[in-house]
A and B are shown apart, each in its own frame.
Chain A
Amino acid sequence: MKGPRRSGLPRRILLKGLAASLTLLWVPRVSADLEAALQARFGDRRPDPGGVELEVSSLVENGNSVAVTVRADPSQPAPAALHLFMPRNPEPWGGSFRIKPPALAEFSTRIRLAGTQDLMAVAEWDDGRLAARAVSVMVTLGACADEIYGEF
């Protein structure tokens, strides 16, 4: 019996692939889908980096339920809303949490991630200012083929 071949790909193709994937790392993080979702929520406003904290595991075991906590930077005035975006989900807008005193600008929930992606939290202030934080989350695949049909 033959052992498994490590790869059927010629070395040159592998190297090209490696170079291509390195290039991808430098592509700006705002994908077309995320861009459309930001446009729908915020018009032409775009967030500055920082101003909001996003707690999520960097490696998750199943994309169907991922714990996240979004918290405004406590050193800044409290924002009016916290938004979640999952750029590679079929619908990138994940949800929006609006706060009025005495509520704190912070919430925890569980989300779906359709594969590895950069999850983004956006804080929005009453004056229209936006701030965002993105965190890369890798979603691993389970051992066996996932169930396709929900019935059984």
Chain B
Amino acid sequence: MRRWLLTALLLGSAVSAEHAERQSGYALLGDELRALQDDDFANPGMLWVDAGERLWSQAAGPDGRSCQDCHGDPTSLRGLANRLPRFDADSERLKNLDTLVRNCREQRQQAAALPHESEDLLALTTLIAHQSRGLPLDVTVDGAASAAFEQGRASFERRRGQLDLSCADCHERLQGARLRGETISAGMINGFPLYRLTWEGLGSRQRMIRWCNEAVRAEPMNPDSQGALALELYLAWRGRGLTLETPAVRR
């Protein structure tokens, strides 16, 4: 049934690539959307960068501390987002950009938590990731991170949901094939947080993972779970060397 569905959906497409090319989703955009991403004024994701800048210096919590008070200018965090998620040896947990910002907010500022995908969290993560625009994805997957990395790889290969598809089925084995009016992407995450026209707004890597899971009718992953972060680590490693595009624009 699964194969029938796939074949039916992929009518006549040439499917050859056994292994995915490391190709940014940017390569699949038409001229209009490329121009939109490249336009630092009109790229709607820049609204979140602006909002992040306003929040950056805004005091929060009982001590009235802002991000600025500890970190200085946002540019001091250039080179952070392209190396995430990373394995934190002390807590023995994977941490992504959302984890770090949420932890700072709750533990250091002792301010109200920033919910996942909330505008304020996206504003700060987009501002921070934007500082690393142009830097290559470069995550550490050996040493203490190796177990999580293998967990992420296994997750990528595991079939899931009512459609019984794995990430690899589409984004590796069928990458480049046509599906309705679209070319199946390599599943790269170098543009996040990004402005997706389907969402008419910004979303994180974990929102996209959740969206994909829902698309194959699988149970969504908790964005804080080590399983979800392990998958994010594996995805970041698959895209190693691709440059960060935050805020990218996708369809």
Where the two chains meet, the residues of A that have a C-beta atom closer than 8 Å to any C-beta of B are 1-4, 57, 59-62, 64-65, 67, 140-147, 150, 152
Contacts and interface: CB of A to CB of B under 8 A. Distances in A.
Contacts of B89: none
A64 B184 contact: no
Contacts of A64: 197-198, 200
B35 to A, nearest CB: 8
A147 B199 contact: yes
Given A142-B181, A142-B251, A65 B197 contact: yes
Q: Which 10 A-B pairs have the closest CB atoms?
A: A140-B181, A143-B182, A143-B179, A62-B197, A144-B215, A62-B251, A64-B197, A141-B180, A61-B251, A141-B181
B251 to A, nearest CB: 4
Contacts, number: 66
A60 B251 CA distance: 10
B218 interface: no
How many interface residues does chain B have, given as a range?
20 to 34
Nearest to B8: A4
B62 interface: no
B100 interface: no
Interface string B198-217: 11100000010011101100
B181 A57 contact: no
Given A142-B180, A143-B180, A61 B198 contact: no
Interface in B160-189: 179-182, 184
